[in-house]
Amino acid sequence: MSTTSTTYLELSQDGGGAHKFYEVGVQGLVVTVRYGRIGAAGQTQTSTFATPQKAQAAAARKVGEKVRKGYAPAVPGQRAPRSVTRRQVVSAPSTARAVAPVLWRFRTGSSAFGIHVDEERCWVGNQSGDVYTLDHAGEVLARFSLPDGVKCLVADDFWIYAGCDDGRVYDLSSKLPFAAYDIAADVDIFWLDIHEGVLNVADRGGRLTVIDHEDEHQWSRGGRAEHAWMVRADDRAVYHGHSGGVTAYAPDGGGELWHTPTRGAVLFGWQEADAVYAGTGQRVVQRLAKADGALEATYACDSAVYSCATSPGGRFVFAGDAASSVYCFDRDGTRLWKLGTGGGSALSMQYHGDRLYLVTTDGSLVCVDAGEAAIAAAQQGTVPVARDVKLAAALPTYAPATEVSSVTTVTAAPAGAVVVECVQQGGRMRVHVVSDGYERSWNVQFPRAIREPGARYVVDALHPASGGFYRVRGDIRRLL
């Protein structure tokens, strides 16, 4: 006769601290763990053990670990869920004399924070959970429908990730998006960056949390200030911008490298090879040297800076303010022009291929001509007539995979595809490569929602990451 038991714990702290649950269930050989924000469905992980006794012992260890961290027995549903922070921003009409050299504009229908632009596509994510992809001419290609508002879009080589208000980070690199990271329930995302598969999260409490490719906590820092809106990462450091300035930490272990106070709280950050740019609430963008945090230049605006970006090497510096204006500066800080966005305040921006892309409070993705000739023409008051992009009638729409049954099945692996398998390892479910030609001891970064003990999957390709693991590229299919 199989043994069945369930233990439900909660950790709830005042003042906006932790508010999360942890549930461990045992049924025979199977241990099921469910965890997340109180009031939410949470994430589920399942492990299978050799005997019921080993399953019970593993469950007891998990409960003991949580109790030592402050969790206590509770009754589901007695504590009310806390609302997730939605960014409340003020956007005033622009006082600029004219509109910037906008080439085209696409309206998503909801305030937009997320933006990413690469060689092939432009991505925009809004507070309704919609992510649209467009080509550089402005034609809408596809739509992803995510469960909650998109806080930011970031890229790590080929892979595109969306950080959302539900506390998860979704991989949008294939047709079937999936939750690649489930951030701790007490971490309220303001911004994130991903570098070589390592997730860096800046949050409402002013903290920096670092999570590895297996969605496991590595280290965190905080306490200097609050409201951390900026995080950027490279091989040398993680650059964390908050209400007290910018702090650089060593990526391995989080030792502090330098700290530089800024003129006002940091609201946005951009990075180039040798410098980081901090847009602040005190109407400036400040350029700091990555080597030591030294202040190299200041770019003065007329309102709080919501976003900033540069052309390669910092030749031109751009800023978007709270009054629906966009600025262009020379490298040394000379203002070349201030013009209206024509679509609300720019909450985020990116420069790519002589164009500046903005996402705004009115939900628009705006493409601005930012080549040298266009910048010079705008100084003289000459700008093009903007084109409004229309939504395609039959637009492909993709939603995340939330369970095994949502994944397409195949009976054989196509030529050139790679087979991977879910295995139990040290009480955790990992994914390893089955196909020849790969390092079989390496883990594969893989969606937790569709992991099932012993299951095999076919993926289009695997790419090695510097941390000693593989990342999936292309579609995922269940192998029957």
pLDDT digits (tens, 9 = 90+) for 190-204: 888 988 888 898 988
In a domain, 91, yes or no: no
Q: Percent of the chain at pLDDT above 90?
A: 50
Confidence of residue 1 (pLDDT cuts 50, 70, 90): low
In a domain, 252, yes or no: yes
Q: 363 and 423: one domain?
A: no
Q: Which of 27-31, 109-113, 297-301, 449-453 has the highest mean pLDDT?
A: 297-301
In a domain, 412, yes or no: yes
In a domain, 85, yes or no: no
**15-19, 37-41, 253-257, 448-452: segment of lowest average pLDDT:** 15-19
Provide mean pLDDT across the span 338-344.
91
pLDDT given for residue 391 in this prediction: 84
Q: 304 and 381: one domain?
A: yes
| pLDDT higher than threshold 80 for residue 385 | yes
Q: 407 and 380: one domain?
A: no
Q: 421 and 455: one domain?
A: yes
| pLDDT higher than threshold 60 for residue 343 | yes
**79-83, 457-461, 471-475: segment of lowest average pLDDT:** 79-83
CATH number at residue 53: 2.20.140.10
Provide mean pLDDT across the span 1-12.
82
Provide mean pLDDT across the span 46-72.
86
CATH number at residue 429: 2.40.50
pLDDT given for residue 148 in this prediction: 86
Q: Is the CB of residue 140 less than 8 Å from the CB of residue 389?
A: yes
- Show the domain range for 271: 102-389
Q: 143 and 194: one domain?
A: yes
Q: 349 and 206: one domain?
A: yes
In a domain, 374, yes or no: yes
**7-16, 267-276, 335-344: segment of lowest average pLDDT:** 7-16
Confidence of residue 425 (pLDDT cuts 50, 70, 90): confident
**202-206, 253-257, 293-297: segment of lowest average pLDDT:** 202-206
Q: 385 and 407: one domain?
A: no
Q: 304 and 271: one domain?
A: yes
The residue written with tokens 């420069």 in the block is 351
Q: 312 and 203: one domain?
A: yes
pLDDT given for residue 20 in this prediction: 81
| pLDDT higher than threshold 70 for residue 215 | no
CATH number at residue 202: 2.130.10.10
Q: 45 and 134: one domain?
A: no
Q: Tell me which of 349, 368, 389 is where a domain ends.
A: 389
pLDDT given for residue 184 in this prediction: 58
Q: Which of 226-235, 284-293, 415-424 has the highest mean pLDDT?
A: 284-293
pLDDT given for residue 176 in this prediction: 75
In a domain, 395, yes or no: no
Provide mean pLDDT across the span 130-140.
95
Q: 119 and 200: one domain?
A: yes
pLDDT given for residue 186 in this prediction: 55
| pLDDT higher than threshold 90 for residue 219 | no
pLDDT given for residue 159 in this prediction: 84
Q: 333 and 420: one domain?
A: no
| pLDDT higher than threshold 70 for residue 87 | no
pTM score > 0.95 for this model? no
If you average pLDDT over every residue of the chain, what do you get?
Answer: 88
Q: Tell me which of 389, 424, 451 is where a domain ends.
A: 389
Compare 160 and 16 and report the one with higher pLDDT. Answer: 160
pLDDT given for residue 80 in this prediction: 79
Compare 404 and 41 and report the one with higher pLDDT. Answer: 41
pLDDT given for residue 127 in this prediction: 92
Number of domains in the chain: 3
| pLDDT higher than threshold 80 for residue 316 | yes
Q: Tell me which of 348, 368, 389 is where a domain ends.
A: 389
Q: What is the pLDDT of residues 24-51, one digit of tens each?
A: 999 988 888 887 778 777 767 777 888 8
In a domain, 93, yes or no: no
pLDDT given for residue 402 in this prediction: 62
In a domain, 175, yes or no: yes
